[in-house]
Amino acid sequence: MDLLVPLEHENGDVSHCGYLVVRGFEFRVCFEVSDPGKFHDEPGDTTGKVNRLKMDQPLASLLRPYRAEIDAILESQAVLQDIVREVIFLIDGALAVSNSNSKVTFHDVQSTSFNWIFVKTALGQLDDLGWSHVMSVDDSFTKIELCIQDRRGRRFPLQVDLPANYPFRPPMCYISFPEPLENFASQENARSAWTLSAVFKSVEKKVFDLEPFFDVLHDFDTHCWVLQPENPTNAESYRRIAVLQHCSLYLEFDIHRPLAVPKWRFLGAKSVVSDLISRLENGFREWNIHTKLPRENLESILKITFPRKPDESDSTSFTVECGICYMYNLSTSTDENQTDLLPDIPCEHVKCSRM
């Protein structure tokens, strides 16, 4: 059982000294509180700031690797009772690591007990962020789904996973993006970048920066028959679209220059695609990045309108009826390098002539 006795000093400060018992070990500690608002026998009855933690030599040796965590706990402005609870939580994790022969660090230790300060921190940060941005929160407050909306009203779900020892370690974030999110732990003054508001603003800025790229994808997904990916998302920087019967066009966009001419390749028998290739190669001087999206430029240069997706049965027939086309589906679903896997042999069957 933990026992802390308050001792009042001449300057008005108070020290709460005694023993913390963790996993059967007794550690002598002393929490120094400056400017206490009130003074009673209970260790949590103070509104002053805990500005220093003294400890005996065994505990000091045990917690030497966690100096930053101790400083963060003391700077949290929590009342003494909550700080004591967090210090006990820290000691418990440190003991778990010291009793293990593995190379696990405290940051990898997951506590199964209810961490009150963790939940209080998460709730406070959600209040600061605004609940209008929150889609869901699990019972443990470790998985939070936020919603970022770009200037065109498109919604981007952002999943934030909080580690058990948050806010002393950074959150993990997941969103449907064509490139990885930044590592929040690598920034200068990293801990200030780990708050939910800071994370939200950082990812929101990324969404705004990539709006032109998302405009291009959305335009193709809305106005074209997209064959690949089967279920297109914002995470893929390519699209394979239907052009004519037995002919498709593979496009790969530069996420930072999405309005420029993309990497392209026609798929189909030579008799079908040769004229289209010629039109496109001779018409690039007409490409206009200022007033047209890539789809509009392609349709203008090729002098065609890309077909929209028909009903489900026709869509399936287009993509898998031919064995070579079916091979394309199998290949792209098992390898990230789609361009190296596009088939370049036309089907010789006179009723197919596909690629």
Enter the CATH code of domain 213-341.
3.10.110.20
Three-class DSSP category at 53: strand
Q: What is the pLDDT of residue 186?
A: 58
Q: What is the pLDDT of residue 187?
A: 54
Which helix or strand (DSSP H or E) is residue 87 part of? Answer: helix 80-98
Q: Are 51 and 32 in contact (CB under 8 A)?
A: yes
> What's the Cα-to-Cα distance from 11 to each of 21, 34, 45, 47, 54, rounded to whole Å?
30, 9, 19, 16, 19
The pLDDT of residue 351 is: 52
Residues of the chain with CATH 3.10.110.20: 213-341
Rounded to whole angstroms, the Cα distance separating 279 from 92 reads: 71
Question: Cβ distance 193 to 274 under 8 Å?
Answer: no
Residue 236: Cβ within 10 Å count = 17
Which helix H or strand E contains 226, and what residues bound it? Answer: strand 226-228
| pLDDT single digits (tens) 220-274 | 999 999 999 989 999 999 999 999 888 999 999 999 999 999 999 999 888 889 9
What is the distance between the alpha carbons of residues 62 and 66, in angstroms, rounded to a whole number?
A: 9
d(CA 61, CA 63): 6
What whole-number distance in Å separates Cα of residue 57 and Cα of residue 281? 77
Beta bridge pairs of residue 55: 29
The CATH architecture annotation of domain 119-206 reads: Roll (3.10)
- pTM over cut 0.75: no
Using one digit for the tens of pLDDT, what is the confidence trace for 317-340?
Answer: 454 445 555 444 444 444 444 444
Nearest to 252 by CA among 169, 338, 191: 338
> Contact, 26 vs 19, CB < 8 A?
yes
pLDDT at 227: 93
- pLDDT at residue number 191: 67
Pairwise CA distance, residues 355 & 349, whole Å: 11
- Alpha carbons 65 and 70: distance in angstroms, whole number: 10
The ranges of the chain annotated as CATH 3.10.110.10 are 119-206
Low-confidence ranges of the chain (pLDDT < 50): 1, 38-46, 101-114, 317, 319-321, 326-340, 350, 355
Residues 214/150, Cβ–Cβ less than 8 Å? yes
pLDDT of residue 213: 97
Burial (Cβ within 10 Å: 0-12, 13-18, ≥19) of residue 186: exposed
**Number of other CB atoms surrounding residue 21 within 10 Å:** 13
Torsion of CA 25, 28, 32, 38, to 10 degrees: 80
Angular region, 31: left φ>0, alpha ψ -120 to 50, beta rest: beta
pLDDT of residue 170: 85
Cα angle value 341/346/351 (rounded, 5°)? 135
Q: What is the pLDDT of residue 41?
A: 43
Contacts of residue 88, defined as CB under 8 A and 6 or more positions apart, other chains included, come to: 2, 20, 22
Non-local (6+) Cβ contacts of 179 within 8 A are 255
Which pLDDT score, from 0 to 100, does residue 343 have?
56
Greatest alpha-carbon pair distance for the chain in Å reads: 101
The pairing of strands 143-149 and 155-161 is: antiparallel
| Distance (Å, whole) CA 166 – CA 122 | 9
DSSP, residue by residue, 288-337: -TTT--HHHHHHHHHT--PPPP--HHHHHHHHHSSHHHHHHHHHHTT-S-
Residue 197 in tokens? 């508001």
